[in-house]
Amino acid sequence: ESRYNPAAIEEKWQKTWVEQGIDKTEENQDKPKFYALSMFPYPSGSLHMGHVRNYVITDVIARLKRMQGYRVLHPMGWDAFGLPAENAAIKNNIPPAKWTQRNIAQMRDQLKRLGLSIDWDKELATCSPDYYKWTQWIFLQFLQAGLAYQKEAAVNWDPVDQTVLANEQVDSEGRSWRSGAKVEKKLLKQWFLKITDYAEELLQDLDQLIGWPERVKLMQANWIGKSTGAYLEFPIVGSSEKIGVFTTRPDTVYGVTYVVLAPEHPLTRQVTTPDRKAAVEAFIQEVAAESELERTAEDKPKRGIPTGGMAINPFTGAEIPIWIADYVLYEYGTGAVMGVPAHDTRDFQFAQGNNLPIQVVIVPPNNDVEMLRVTPLQEAYTEPGIMVNSGSFDGTDSVKGKQAVIEYAEKQGWGKARIQYRLRDWLISRQRYWGAPIPVVHCPNCGIVPVPEADLPVRLPEDIEFTGRGGSPLAQLSSWVNVPCPTCGTPAKRETDTMDTFIDSSWYFLRFPDATNDKLVFDSARVNDWMPVDQYVGGIEHAILHLLYSRFFTKVLRDRPKGGTEGDRNLLNFDEPFQRLLTQGMVQGLTYMNPNKADKDKWVPTSIVNADDPRDPQTGEPLKLVYATMSKSKGNGVAPEEVIAKYGVDTARMFILFKAPPEKDLEWDEADVQGQFRFLNRVWQLVTEFAQQPTVKETSIKNPKSKIEKDLRRAIHTAIQAITEDLEGEYQFNTAVSELMKLSNALADATCKDSPVYAEGIKTLILLLAPFAPHIADELWHAIANQESVHKQSWLKADPDALVADEMTLVIQINGKTRGTIQVPAQADRQMQEKLARESEPAQRYVEGKEIKKVIVVPGKLVNFAIG
Ligand code: ANZ
Ligand code: ZN
């Protein structure tokens, strides 16, 4: 073959690798392990460039680690439950299972075209009964541990999809992330997982994750949202009940001028006086329609009304009014707040809007206290300072005052220290069909009864009608719902809720090491051996939920005994699932944009725009050509299969790796794709020409004699060194590809093509190329008379002797002007460099007997003579 023709070689090698088992997981315990994992895809039906980038990154790492002597686990699976399948069933009357299987088959073929070294024996799909049987088993572990419970809760109700949504599935405008419908509040009995039990550990252990981006750790910490403060109680006038509040500023307690309840708070109706009843009821209804985001938005005026009831501040004995307001959330803290308008921004706004008194109790250090008493505050003073108007605490530093006030409150029985997390328990039940059924039965005698392990999985019935109306489709199939109680045999009912798909993806990485086990969820020894994942690669959109839930599951299973019996060892023996995390950037494509239009409507696909005079087809306004994340709606995607058909997958891989560092966004640019294609062509030429020469094929020569050979050998080993460094640490694939190009140039320019050093260079180039462009590398590897796959070879180590330059270049300057250069031995010291410079031809010529007043030596760079 004389020309590089990717189509002719790529499928051939993919087949050969399968036959030779190149991608199979090695279980050889003598080798260190490496678990390389990409976030598994949702089987939407077609692969996009974002997927390609994700999996190529992981694949380069997996291939490199194999060559470096690791046994590598590099699996793939399908996050296959979820709404789209069900929506397709409603729209096109195709069963979700069938739709999903068809998509998986399609995407598996596309993936296989990418030349990824995936062990397909480990493939799993979360919608298959062999998998969800164990998802259900894990749910029962949570139930047994008291970490799964049912509770009536105000939930986000999507009126279009007719389902409950998690908070995070509702966008900032209060709309469903899937249907876009305005979300409503509805009271329903729901299943929760008690992730709050692990809040502190989930926060603390972030410190262990040194291989994670700081940004992701910060997002997790903020999501957990730990606050330290106090719980304080305010007695209600004329009642034995008290209002408990959570505050982070107990030092401001003398400045409380009112108490506010969330409208949903159970005490609201009790404290309301008869004359206020109608107004309070109306207000409660109004707030119920608002989303959490609307209620807490910074810029929005805070709305509230008095209940007519009064409370007592135990610290001052003062009677203060009890209000209700929308900015107090029922789900956070105690659902009640002590209002300190002088020192809290929201309270300040609220007090001003409602004519409530403002009482200063903290002043800046060194401030004139008297001044503050007469001048009204312009805004809340939220900084630390000195306590004033605070009884015996006057003069105390407010930071120290927090603790002092808590201690005093404890002594008096008014409250105590409290730590509060923003993290809430995880609402996991969905009133949908296409998910793992929650494996419990509701019995009139026994209550909630877990389905016995022997009866798992609770299978999804197939004779279901998908109408798109009403709640869960499962609830409508009485033959499935009605079962005898597993404990007492009384007619009972199955739970009809299915689990949030985030549950499926919270443990899939634990299944891969033992993916086909039909006796156990997994063999603990095997999982403990392979876990944690050494390198996890995926999108930043999973920075919070998926990663937090996976960490939570890992910790719960770590705490569960293996056989459910006392004294048994636990299911897992590690704390964190993902050692290192790489969040890859987006792939962007060119698209037209109308700068005058709002976010969602501003994109105009290139296909409907006249490139010579780009205008909005609707309004005629001029358009801008910009890079934006590829998406269907923008119509700016580049189809992977088209690029592969045109240039081959090796070129696509090289381009993706070369164009941007992996964490950064990548701008798709056809010219750069062609650049990589040309580069692979040059490599092809170089190697095939070499292979045709009948001359030296000897590839080890440690000490070449000629300078030309020495220089070439240095270039070769510099490439090994630089690429190895780029691939360790931070995964700088882009600079690694640049180094490959440099090496190929050095070889092309070499004037010693019959030397063993040149043979070493050709061999090195192919080996270093192997993780990046695996097909062409194997083809060329065989072209230079090797029998075994390049992917079974060892990664190279740079020879330190070869790296040492034996000469260096010095610039000779006279009075700051460059007059020539000289070569000096690399080990020449400063003095020697000056001596050789003095003796050099340019120095001799320009100094010409004049007096040298001063010599400046920049070692290894230049020598300057100042002459008079
Ligand atoms: C009095 C006070 C005085 C407060 C002051 C702050 C400054 P983080 O940091 O987010 O935990 N708060 C408590 N529960 C609330 C609820 N359910 N809805 C709305 N706000 C609530 O914030 C804790 C502070 O937020 C608490 O401290 C409370 O206001 C308010 F100078 O108490 B603070
Ligand atoms: Zn029963």
The CA distances from residue 255 to 392, 436, 813, in Å, are 14, 52, 75
Is 217 part of any domain?
no
Both 348 and 272 in one domain: the answer is yes
| Mean pLDDT to the nearest integer, 702-729 | 91
Ligand 2 center–CA 137 separation, angstroms: 20
One domain for residues 816 and 740:
no
**Same domain, yes or no, for 46 and 146?**
no
Report the C-alpha gap between 167 and 72 in whole angstroms.
38
Mutation test of ligand 1: which of 249, 258, 331, 377 has the most ligand atoms closer than 8 Å to its C-beta?
A: 249
Of 808, 807, 810, 812, whose CA–CA distance to 845 is shortest?
812
Contact 15, 22 (CB under 8 A): no
- Rounded to an integer, the average pLDDT of 619-644 is 90
Half-sphere exposure of 269 (CA within 13 A, CB side): 5
Residue 162 falls inside a structural domain: yes
Nearest ligand by distance to the CA of 254: 1
Q: By three-state DSSP, how is residue 281 classified?
A: helix
Q: Which residue has the tokens 């590089």?
A: 4
Averaged pLDDT of the chain: 92
Does residue 696 carry a pLDDT above 70? no
Alpha-carbon distance of 352 to 190, in angstroms, equals 40
Tell me what pLDDT residue 467 has.
74
What would the mean pLDDT of 259-283 be, rounded to a whole number?
Answer: 95
The strand pair at 258-261 and 319-325 is best described as: parallel
**329 within ligand 1 shell (Cβ under 6 A):** yes
This prediction has a pTM of 0.89
pLDDT value of position 700: 64
Output the CA torsion 651→657→658→659 (10° steps). Answer: 100
Give the count of domains, the chain.
6
Cβ–ligand 1 distance for 744 under 6 Å, the answer no
Question: What average pLDDT score do residues 649-661 get?
Answer: 97
pLDDT digits (tens, 9 = 90+) for 109-123: 999 999 999 999 999
pLDDT higher than threshold 70 for residue 324: yes
List the single range of 523-527, 614-618, 649-653, 760-764 with lowest mean pLDDT.
614-618
Helix (H, G, I), strand (E, B) or coil at 358: coil
DSSP-derived secondary structure letter, 592:
E
Q: How many angstroms separate the CA atoms of 165 and 431, rounded? A: 10
The DSSP element (H or E) to which 811 belongs, if any, is: strand 807-814
Question: 422: CA distance to ligand 1 center in Å?
Answer: 12
309 plus 410 within the same structural domain: yes
Average pLDDT over residues 696-702: 65
> What is the pLDDT confidence band of residue 694, given thresholds at 50, 70 and 90?
low
Q: Which of 556, 584, 612 is the last residue of a domain?
A: 584
- Classify residue 16: in a domain, yes or no: no
Cβ of 716 less than 6 Å from ligand 1: no
Ligand 1 atom at minimal distance to the Cα of residue 342: 31
User: How far out from the chain centre does Cα 751 lie?
Assistant: 49
What is the structure's pLDDT at 766?
Answer: 98
pLDDT of residue 536: 98
Query: Do 491 and 558 share a domain, yes or no?
Result: no
Residues 101 and 173 in one domain: no
One domain, residues 601 and 580: no
Q: Show the DSSP H helices in 788-851 as ranges.
A: 800-803, 830-839, 841-847
Q: What's the DSSP call for residue 196? A: G
Sign of CA dihedral 183, 187, 193, 196: positive
Would 729 be classed as within a structural domain? yes
Is residue 652 assigned to a domain?
Answer: no
Q: The CATH number of the domain where 686 resides is what? A: 1.10.730.10
Q: Which residues have C-beta within 8 Å of that of residue 238, sequence separation ≥ 6?
A: 310
* CA separation for the pair 24, 19 (Å, rounded): 11
Q: Whole-angstrom Cα distance, residue 139 to residue 814?
A: 81
Q: Given the DSSP bridges, would you call strands 124-125 and 77-78 parallel, antiparallel or unpaired?
A: parallel
Domain end, chosen from 803, 837, 857, is at 803
Q: Mean pLDDT across the stretch 579-604?
A: 90
Q: Which ligand 1 atom is at minimum distance from the Cα of 380?
A: 31
Residue 336 pLDDT: 98
CB atoms within 10 A of CB 591: 24
Last residue of a domain, one of 775, 803, 831: 803
Q: Would 218 be classed as within a structural domain?
A: no
User: Which of 111-115, 168-172, 325-329, 642-646 comes out lowest in average pLDDT?
Assistant: 168-172
Structure confidence at residue 463 as a pLDDT band (50, 70, 90): confident
Separation of CA 495 and ligand 2 centre (Å): 14
Sequence-ordered list of residues with C-beta below 8 angstroms from that of 312, at least 6 positions apart, any chain: 234, 235, 236, 237, 318, 319, 320
Residue 211 falls inside a structural domain: no
Please report the pLDDT score of residue 748 as a whole number: 96
Whether the CB-CB separation of 292 and 184 falls below 8 Å is answered with: no
Look up the domain containing 243 and give its range. 226-421
- Please report which helix (H) or strand (E) contains residue 247, including its range: strand 242-247
23: Cα separation from own chain's centroid: 26
Distance from residue 463's CA to the centre of ligand 2 (Å): 27
CATH number of the domain residue 825 falls in? 3.10.20.590
User: Cβ(425)–Cβ(192) under 8 Å?
Assistant: yes
The Cα 257–Cα 350 span in angstroms is 11
Note whether 629 and 612 are same-domain residues. Answer: yes
Helices of type H across 232-382: 268-271, 277-288, 292-296, 345-354, 369-374
Identify the bridge partners of residue 33 per DSSP, sorted by sequence position: 71
CB atoms within 10 A of CB 209: 19
632 is in an annotated binding site: yes
Question: Between β-strands 226-235 and 242-247, what pairing exists: parallel, antiparallel or unpaired?
Answer: antiparallel
332 lines ligand 1 (CB under 6 A): yes
Tell me, yes or no, whether 376 and 263 share the same domain.
yes
Over residues 219-239, the mean pLDDT reads 97
Q: Which atom of ligand 1 is nearest to the CA of 382?
A: 31
Atom of ligand 1 nearest to the CA of 343: 31
**Rounded distance from Cα 278 to ligand 1 centre (Å):** 28
344 ligand 1 Cβ < 6 A? yes
Cis peptide leading into residue 457 (ω within 30°):
yes
Residue 394 contacts by C-beta under 8 Å, 6 or more apart in sequence?
387, 388
How does pLDDT run across 539-587, given as a tens digit for each residue? 998 989 999 999 999 999 999 988 655 555 899 999 999 999 999 999 9
Q: Mean pLDDT: which of 30-39, 163-172, 854-863 is highest?
A: 30-39
Q: Please state, as a whole number, how many other Cβ atoms lie within 10 Å of the Cβ of residue 849.
A: 6
Question: Could you tell me if 345 and 402 lie in one domain?
Answer: yes
pLDDT band for 817, please (50, 70, 90 cuts).
very high
pLDDT digits (tens, 9 = 90+) for 790-802: 999 999 999 988 8
Ligand nearest to the CA of 487: 2
Question: If you search the block for the tokens 């020449």, which residue do you land on?
Answer: 828
Pick the more confident residue, 123 or 91. Answer: 123
Q: Is 335 in the pocket of ligand 1 (CB under 6 A)?
A: yes
With the CA atoms of 343, 345, 348 and 352 taken in that order, what torsion angle do they form, in degrees rounded to the nearest 10?
Answer: 160
Least confident span in 88-102, 166-180, 382-396: 166-180
State residue 289's pLDDT score. Answer: 76
Is-contact 59 65, C-beta < 8 A?
A: no
Rounded alpha-carbon distances, angstroms, from residue 760 to 205, 683, 767? 47, 15, 11
pLDDT > 90 in the chain, percent:
77
Least reliable range by pLDDT among 43-47, 86-90, 217-221, 708-712:
86-90
Tell me if 359 CB under 6 Å of ligand 1: no
Closest atom of ligand 1 relative to the 229 alpha carbon? 27
Residue-level pLDDT at 171: 82
Whether 149 contacts 414, CB under 8 Å: no
Residue 233 shares a structural domain with residue 256: yes
Distance from residue 337's CA to the centre of ligand 1 (Å):
6
In tens, the pLDDT along 484-535 reads 999 999 999 999 999 999 999 999 999 999 999 999 999 999 999 999 999 9
CA distance 303 to 260: 11
Helix (H, G, I), strand (E, B) or coil at 227: strand
State CA 156 to chain mean position distance: 25
Q: Kindly indicate the confidence band of residue 401, based on its pLDDT and cuts at 50, 70 and 90.
A: very high
User: What is residue 600's predicted lDDT score, i.e. its pLDDT?
Assistant: 76
Cis ω before 274 (30° cut-off from 0): no
- Looking at residue 500, its pLDDT comes to 95
pLDDT given at position 116: 97
| Domain of residue 44, CATH code | 3.40.50.620
Q: For residue 827, name the pLDDT band (cuts at 50, 70, 90).
A: confident
pLDDT at 245: 98
Residues 410-415 have a mean pLDDT of 97
Please state, in angstroms and rounded to a whole number, the distance separating the CA atoms of residues 858 and 860: 6
Task: Tell me if 811 is assigned to some domain.
Answer: yes
Whether residues 717 and 614 fall in one domain: no
